[in-house]
Amino acid sequence: MKASKYVSCAQVLALAIGLGSSFGVAFANDFAEDIDSADETFVISATRQATPLRQVGSSVSVVTSEELTAQGVLYVEQALRRLPGVAVSASGGPGGQVAVRLRGEESYRTLVLLDGIRISDPALPQSAVNFSNMTVFAIERIEVLRGPQALLYGADAIGGVINVVTRRGGDTAVALSAEAGSFGTQTVRAYVGSSSGPADFALSGTWTRSDGFSAKEGDSTLGDDDGYENLTVHGVAGLALTPGTRLEAVGHYVDAEAEFDGFPFDPDRQLLTTETAARLSIATNELGAGFEHTLAYNFFRTRREDLDGGLPTADWLGAPISRFDGDRHEVEYLGSYSPANNHGLTFGAEYEVEEVTTDALNDTTETFAAFAEWQAEWTTNFFTTVGVRYDNPEGFDDHASLRATAAYLVSLGGAEETKFRASAGTGFRAPSAFERARNETFGLPVLSEETAIGFDVGVDHPFAGGRAEISVTYFDQRIEDEIRFDNVGFSGYFQAAGTTESKGVEVGLRADLGYGFSLSSSYTYTDATVNSPDPEDGLPRVRRPQHITSTDLNYEGMEGRLRLNLNLRSAAEAEDGFREFRVPLDDYATVNGSASFQVHPGFEIIARANNLTNEQYQEVSGFASADLSGFIGVRVRF
Burial class (CB in 10 A: 0-12, 13-18, 19+), 138: buried
User: Among candidates 143, 174, 172, 162, which has minimal Cα distance to 36?
Assistant: 143
Quote the CA–CA distance of 389 and 414 in Å, as a whole number: 40
311 — pLDDT class (breaks 50, 70, 90): confident
What pLDDT score was predicted for residue 237?
97
User: Among candidates 294, 285, 288, which has minimal Cα distance to 244?
Assistant: 285
Beta strands in 359-448 (DSSP E): 362-379, 382-393, 399-410, 418-429
Q: What is the pLDDT of residues 316-358, one digit of tens each?
A: 777 888 899 999 999 999 999 988 778 999 999 999 999 999 9
- In SS3 terms, 285-313 reads as CCCCCCEEEEEEEEEEEEEEEEEECCEEC
Q: What is the pLDDT of residues 190-214, one digit of tens each?
A: 999 999 999 999 999 999 999 988 8
What pLDDT score was predicted for residue 20?
34
223 — pLDDT class (breaks 50, 70, 90): low
What pLDDT score was predicted for residue 261?
73
Q: Is residue 18's pLDDT more than 90?
A: no
Q: Is residue 25's pLDDT more than 60?
A: no
What pLDDT score was predicted for residue 218?
61
What pLDDT score was predicted for residue 26?
28
> How many Cβ atoms are within 10 Å of 159's Cβ, its own excluded?
30
Burial class (CB in 10 A: 0-12, 13-18, 19+), 446: exposed
504 — pLDDT class (breaks 50, 70, 90): very high
* Torsion angle of C-alpha atoms 610, 616, 622, 626, degrees rounded to 10: 20
Q: Using omega within 30 degrees of 0 as the cis cutoff, is the peptide bond preceding 601 cis?
A: no
Q: Is residue 142's pLDDT more than 80?
A: yes
User: Among candidates 98, 92, 58, which has minimal Cα distance to 75?
Assistant: 98
Burial class (CB in 10 A: 0-12, 13-18, 19+), 110: buried
In CATH, the number for domain 9-496+533-637 is 2.40.170.20
Q: Are 180 and 631 in contact (CB under 8 A)?
A: yes
What pLDDT score was predicted for residue 366?
95
What pLDDT score was predicted for residue 315?
78
Q: Which helix (H) or strand (E) holds 67?
A: helix 65-71
616 — pLDDT class (breaks 50, 70, 90): very high
DSSP-assigned beta bridge partners for residue 61? 144
Quote the CA–CA distance of 162 and 207 in Å, as a whole number: 24
What pLDDT score was predicted for residue 488?
86
User: Among candidates 279, 277, 300, 278, which has minimal Cα distance to 354?
Assistant: 300
User: Among candidates 237, 77, 72, which has minimal Cα distance to 142?
Assistant: 77
What pLDDT score was predicted for residue 222?
55
Q: Are 122 and 521 in contact (CB under 8 A)?
A: no
Cβ contacts of 458 within 8 Å, gap of 6 or more? 59, 420, 421, 422, 471, 472, 473, 474, 506
CA atoms within 13 A on the CB side of 59: 31
Pairing of strands 493-514, 517-528: antiparallel
Q: DSSP code of 132? A: G
User: What are phi and psi for residue 493, nearest 5 degrees?
Assistant: -120, 150
265 — pLDDT class (breaks 50, 70, 90): low
235 — pLDDT class (breaks 50, 70, 90): very high
User: What are phi and psi for residue 357, nearest 5 degrees?
Assistant: -135, 120
Cβ contacts of 327 within 8 Å, gap of 6 or more? 122, 299, 300, 301, 354, 355
Q: Is residue 29's pLDDT more than 60?
A: no
Q: Is residue 39's pLDDT more than 80?
A: no
Quote the CA–CA distance of 126 and 527 in Å, as a whole number: 23
Q: Is residue 285's pLDDT more than 80?
A: yes
End-to-end CA distance of the chain: 34
Burial class (CB in 10 A: 0-12, 13-18, 19+), 72: buried
Q: DSSP code of 169? A: -
Q: Is residue 12's pLDDT more than 50?
A: no
Quote the CA–CA distance of 542 and 559 in Å, as a whole number: 47
Average pLDDT of the segment spanning 623-630? 91
Q: Is residue 13's pLDDT more than 80?
A: no
DSSP-assigned beta bridge partners for residue 112? 162
Cβ contacts of 280 within 8 Å, gap of 6 or more? 248, 249, 250, 296, 297
115 or 534: which leads in pLDDT: 115
- Domain spans of the chain, in order of start: 9-496+533-637
What pLDDT score was predicted for residue 263?
58
Q: What is the pLDDT of residues 448-474, one digit of tens each?
A: 999 999 999 999 999 998 899 999 999
Average pLDDT of the segment spanning 356-374? 94
Q: Is residue 534's pLDDT more than 90?
A: no
Cβ contacts of 264 within 8 Å, gap of 6 or more? none
Q: DSSP code of 543? A: T
Quote the CA–CA distance of 144 and 473 in Å, as a whole number: 14
DSSP for 451-483 reads EEEEEEEEEEEEETTTTEEEEEEEEEEEEEEEE
